[in-house]
């Protein structure tokens, strides 16, 4: 089994470079690259089918902040996606919402990808807009369309392996190092990442996509440049129409899962069993197709370093871990450890190398679908004492 990789674009600002009025990029949480499994020969762009909402779904959206006027403008712009996607944004004033928007004068722009929003605690934002960056209607418009594109499952277009952008990497490293304080790795993650070719499933690269970042001519070796795109491109429209068809069913479904309402994980030392019992509390719902889900707990030392072990028992990629795996049919809802301790993960004391008295446990749920590993939930570390 491979380790779970969770790539977080940590940047808050991008392109405060001369000639551009907008200074904030998008610090959206990016899932790992994966194979896309639908056929839209004419569509352009990248999407993650595993995090799509159901076709025809009503997605509830609520603002956590912002003036009524600003909220109304965001709402009107976001709803443009509804013209092409069989999906409806239901903006509500109170109650449980799938997408929760913070309008603030800081924090950059970002959004969770599609249904991954369900992995965020109910009181917290799943999307952020930095209003200090809304210096014009166009700047606001392209940002809202872009972030809502992420929220319904789209990924950055410039990560397309068929984009073939001839980056002049040294200049980009230098300029973003100076203007943003980014190190090389941060630039690599945010600009030079490439998805596997299979991920595009034969779709074309679209430099006019709302999901493409601007590219300055001096950042490429041949003067290739991409301007700010303020509108949905024809490629964006055809892609989202294929993902959420207004007539008929989605062409190629994949297993889709949402882990929500994670509230805690009880960690209990058991002298009788000579080990640690773990009771993560969460809900999981399934859609699309049958799929296999792994519920895991990885162990770290008190400083957050993985506890290594390679005896081939109770480890994942040589990190001490325990798991249970289940094949789950679509359209099910399962509840773990809400009303009783009904779902236990266990690890014997003998699996911990000598010398650990304090440790941390991290609950991770993921889907394994053929070659595809898709993260569904990642908890914060939970500290506990090993009382053998
Ligand atoms: Zn983005």
- 153-201 pLDDT per residue, tens: 988 888 887 888 999 999 999 998 888 778 898 788 778 888 765 555 5
pTM, entire model:
0.85
Strand partners of residue 259:
284
* DSSP reduced 3-state for 126: coil
* DSSP reduced 3-state for 39: coil
Domains detected in the chain: 7-243 (3.40.390.10), 255-385 (2.60.40.10)
CA of 246 to the centre of ligand 1 (A): 25
Tell me if 283 sits within 8 A of 260, measured CB to CB: yes
CA of 222 to the centre of ligand 1 (A): 25
Greatest alpha-carbon pair distance for the chain in Å reads: 69
Say which residues have a Cβ less than 8 Å from residue 318's Cβ, sequence separation at least 6.
308, 309, 310
CA of 242 to the centre of ligand 1 (A): 21
Distance, CA of 351 to CA of 369 (rounded, Å): 28
346 pLDDT above the threshold of 90: yes
CA of 82 to the centre of ligand 1 (A): 19
More confident residue, 179 or 97: 97
CA of 109 to the centre of ligand 1 (A): 8
CA of 171 to the centre of ligand 1 (A): 22
Please, which pLDDT band fits residue 203 given cuts at 50, 70 and 90?
Answer: low
- 326-337 pLDDT per residue, tens: 999 999 999 999
Tell me if 281 sits within 8 A of 356, measured CB to CB: no
CA of 209 to the centre of ligand 1 (A): 11
Q: Which of 35-39, 40-44, 126-130, 256-260 has the lowest mean pLDDT?
A: 35-39
């Amino acid at each position: 089994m491979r380790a779970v990789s969770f790539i977080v674009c940590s940047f808050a600002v991008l392109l405060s470079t001369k000639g551009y009025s907008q200074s904030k990029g998008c610090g959206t949480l990016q899932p790992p690259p994966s194979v896309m499994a639908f056929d839209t020969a004419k569509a352009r762009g990248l999407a993650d089918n595993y995090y799509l909402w159901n076709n025809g779904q009503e997605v509830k959206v609520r603002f956590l902040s912002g003036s009524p006027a600003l909220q109304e403008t965001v709402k009107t712009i976001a709803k443009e996606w509804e013209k092409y996607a069989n999906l409806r944004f239901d903006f509500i004033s109170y109650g449980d919402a799938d997408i929760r928007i913070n309008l603030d004068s800081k924090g950059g722009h970002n959004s969770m990808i599609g249904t991954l929003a369900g992995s965020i605690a109910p009181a917290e934002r799943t999307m952020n807009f930095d209003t200090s960056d809304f210096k014009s209607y166009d700047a606001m418009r392209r940002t809202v369309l872009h972030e809502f594109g992420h929220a319904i499952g789209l990924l950055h277009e410039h990560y397309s392996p068929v984009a073939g952008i001839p980056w002049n990497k040294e200049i980009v490293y230098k300029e973003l190092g100076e203007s943003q304080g980014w190190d090389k790795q941060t630039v690599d993650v945010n600009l030079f990442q490439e998805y596997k070719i299979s991920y595009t499933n034969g779709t074309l690269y679209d430099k006019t996509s709302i999901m493409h970042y601007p590219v300055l001519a001096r950042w490429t070796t041949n003067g290739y440049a991409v301007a700010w795109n303020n509108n949905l491109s024809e490629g964006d429209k055809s892609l989202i129409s294929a993902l959420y068809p207004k007539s008929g069913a989605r062409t190629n479904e994949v297993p889709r899962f949402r882990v929500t309402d994670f509230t805690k994980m009880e960690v209990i030392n058991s002298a009788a069993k000579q080990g640690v019992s773990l009771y993560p509390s969460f809900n999981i719902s399934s859609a699309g197709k049958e799929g296999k889900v792994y519920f895991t707990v990885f162990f770290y030392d008190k400083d957050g370093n993985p506890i290594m072990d390679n005896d081939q028992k109770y480890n994942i990629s040589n990190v001490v871990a325990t798991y249970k795996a289940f094949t789950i049919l679509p359209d099910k809802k399962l509840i773990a450890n809400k009303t009783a301790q009904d779902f236990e993960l266990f690890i014997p004391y003998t699996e911990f190398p000598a010398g650990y008295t304090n440790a941390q446990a991290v609950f991770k749920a993921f889907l394994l679908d053929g070659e595809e590993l898709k993260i569904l939930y990642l908890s914060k570390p939970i500290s506990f004492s090993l009382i053998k």
